[in-house]
Amino acid sequence: MIEYNYGEPMRRGRIEVICGSMFSGKTEELIRRMKRAQFAHQKVEIFKPAIDTRYSDDDVVTHEGVAIPSTPVDNSSSILLLGDQCDVIGIDEAQFFDENLVAVCNELASKGVRVIIAGLDMDFRGVPFGPMPALCAVADDVTKVHAICVRCGALAYVSHRKVHEEKRVLLGEVNEYEPLCRVCYQKAKTP
């Protein structure tokens, strides 16, 4: 915080994006940052898309089972309403939100809120996913995390879908997806 000349505190808002493939530790890093903010006695709230019910209807949960309470919402506008009095807002699985998420995050940051966003930067085809590219563009800080390619051990590039399903959104875990490097991904795509 900085102070105005009159001694009243002014919060500095910012947008932090954590992106990468599945199994790269995005949610783990989001939870780590949110717990640090809680430890500092900041008012925090975590939001997730209501469609993400893989491990819990309500909590944000890592693949390893680490959980933190969250508020599921159907659209990004709800984040503005429900997170009105927060110092820090976390948003998990941001790729599943509508494009208005960028405007919501900008508005929150302009009001002095620290916004921490985690999400897939690309879908299973290697195409930028949802509002994530625009969020990376407006972010004050972008952290790209990497999983390890399950076929060769290099840094993973993309979340390869192992099941034949063409719809873009398919909630899944290790049975449906695997992290692959660029070379192994190209090999996997070749019949």
pLDDT of 101-133, one tens digit each? 999 999 999 999 999 999 999 998 899 999 999
Extract the tokens encoding 140: 């004050």
Q: How far apart are CA 96 and CA 74, in angstroms?
A: 10
pLDDT at residue 119 in the model: 97
pLDDT in tens, 68-98: 889 999 999 999 999 989 999 999 999 999 9
Number of domains the chain is built from: 1
In the chain, what percentage of residues exceed pLDDT 90? 71
pLDDT at residue 66 in the model: 81
Look up residue 51 and give its amino acid.
Answer: I
Is residue 16 predicted with pLDDT exceeding 90?
A: yes
- Contact predicate 80/107, CB 8 Å: yes
Specify the pTM. 0.88
Is residue 191 predicted with pLDDT exceeding 80?
A: no
DSSP three-state, residue 46: strand
For residue 175, is it within any domain? Answer: no
DSSP three-state, residue 71: strand
CATH number of the domain where residue 43 is located: 3.40.50.300
Domain ranges, residue 12? 2-146
For residue 190, is it within any domain? Answer: no
For residue 164, is it within any domain? Answer: no
The active-site residue out of 16, 29, 45, 93 is: 93
pLDDT at residue 120 in the model: 95
For residue 182, is it within any domain? Answer: no
93 among known catalytic residues: yes
For residue 47, is it within any domain? Answer: yes
Q: How far apart are CA 170 and CA 93, in angstroms?
A: 13
For residue 12, is it within any domain? Answer: yes
Q: Which residue has the higher pLDDT, 3 or 78?
A: 78
For residue 128, is it within any domain? Answer: yes
pLDDT at residue 143 in the model: 98
For residue 86, is it within any domain? Answer: yes
